[in-house]
Amino acid sequence: MTNNGTEKTSYDVIIVGGGPAGLCAAMYAARGMIDALLIERGLPGGELLNTELIEDYPGFESILGRDLAKKMTSHAEKFGASIVTDTVDAIEKMEDGEFEVRTQLGKTYRSAAVILTAGGTPAKLGIPGELEYAGRGVSYCAVCDGAFFKNETIAVIGGGDAAVEEANYLTRYGTKVYLIHRREEFRASALLQDRTFNNPKIEVIRNKVVEEIEGGPTGATGLVLKDTKTGERSNLAATGVFIFIGFSPNSGLIKGHFEHDAGGYVITDRHMMMSIRGLFAAGDLRVQLTRQITTAVGDATTAAIAVEKYLAERTAEAKAPVGTA
């Protein structure tokens, strides 16, 4: 059961983040008789709770995001995983080889291993209508939600590789795709620009910012645009609004140096272990090709099983006579 008042502070493994990756890792760890604690800042489920309908998770032709979150949480708890609601401030490896996980509520937990599944945060426009129509027209994932907009008009906002590439991808669903960028020049690679701009379904709109997302009972219906040069305002009809202006992995919780790419995404080996021994990562904050529920739970499965082996090796090392190679 989810519990805020647990007095226990020492575990075999602590899982930071309660999205699909964290819940899967907790389920596998508990099933493997590993004493596991999962710490999630809100209700377990992560981005699942912000997703209205999921149609690309095997075994469920269609399921509400919140329902899948409940099922995953119940599955982890069934095998004995402990879940607490708190926000992790820091993860640090100590001199004795164990980890300290410190939280905003003033708790300090210790464990031999940590699985970091805290994901990342898509950058928001911060405009009226964005929050109101999230999951009802507004999305941050083309692969996740593109199929919901078959034969509709779609607007993509952004100027980097992700925006340009996803605009091209969304043409398989939408009858028309607008690519809106606040500047004249795009940051995306020349190859992606050439491929996308030559797609007859795509219309590029330059030097415009989105001031508001409009909608009604059925969801988003259009955008209010402002010209960055003239200040002139205009309206654009679109029922799908995909925002790709950046994504920040939540890897800043780690204290100490670790291997990562230029964007802050963590680099792991094939066992999901980071460059800090005993610290594993799974899901959206890891360097990988795509970020889906299926890839998150795949990472988490590997990480949880690898933790079991890591703990066994650690125990064997501790029992070995001094000087044993």
For residue 48, count CB atoms less than 10 angstroms from its CB and return exposed for 0-12, middle for 13-18, buried for 19 or more: buried
Catalytic residue check, 145: yes
Residue 156 and residue 244 in contact, taking contact as beta carbons nearer than 8 Å: yes
CATH of 138-243, one of 1.10.645.10, 3.30.390.50, 3.50.50.60, 3.30.160.270: 3.50.50.60
Helix, strand or coil, per DSSP, at residue 295: helix
Catalytic residue check, 144: yes
Res 1 pLDDT > 50: no
For residue 40, count CB atoms less than 10 angstroms from its CB and return exposed for 0-12, middle for 13-18, buried for 19 or more: buried
Looking at the chain, which residues constitute the CATH 3.50.50.60 domain(s)? Answer: 10-121+247-319, 138-243
Write down the number of H helices and E strands in the chain: 6, 20
User: Whole-angstrom Cα distance, residue 196 to residue 164?
Assistant: 7
Catalytic residue check, 24: no
Q: Identify the active-site residue in 144, 194, 261, 269.
A: 144
Please give the pLDDT value at position 279. 98
Decide: pTM greater than 0.75: no
Q: Identify the active-site residue in 86, 145, 284, 299.
A: 145
Res 312 pLDDT > 90: yes
Res 149 pLDDT > 90: yes
Residue 225 and residue 201 in contact, taking contact as beta carbons nearer than 8 Å: no
Q: Which residue has the higher pLDDT, 8 or 325?
A: 8
Using 50, 70 and 90 to split pLDDT, how confident is the model at 5? very low
Q: Identify the active-site residue in 56, 141, 161, 227.
A: 141
Please give the pLDDT value at position 162. 84
Domain 10-121+247-319 fold: FAD/NAD(P)-binding domain (3.50.50)
User: Whole-angstrom Cα distance, residue 123 to residue 137?
Assistant: 17
Q: What are phi and psi of 216, to 5 degrees?
A: -155, -160
* Length in residues, the chain: 325
Please give the pLDDT value at position 322. 65
Q: What is the DSSP string of 36-48?
A: EEEEESSSTTGGG
Q: For the chain, list the strands marked E by DSSP.
A: 10-16, 36-40, 53-54, 63-64, 82-85, 88-93, 99-103, 108-116, 120-122, 138-139, 153-157, 176-180, 202-205, 208-216, 219-227, 233-237, 240-243, 247-249, 254-255, 279-281
CB atoms within 10 A of CB 277: 11
- At 34-58, the pLDDT tens digits run 999 999 998 899 878 867 678 889 9
Helices 161-170 & 190-197 angle (0-180, nearest 10) = 30
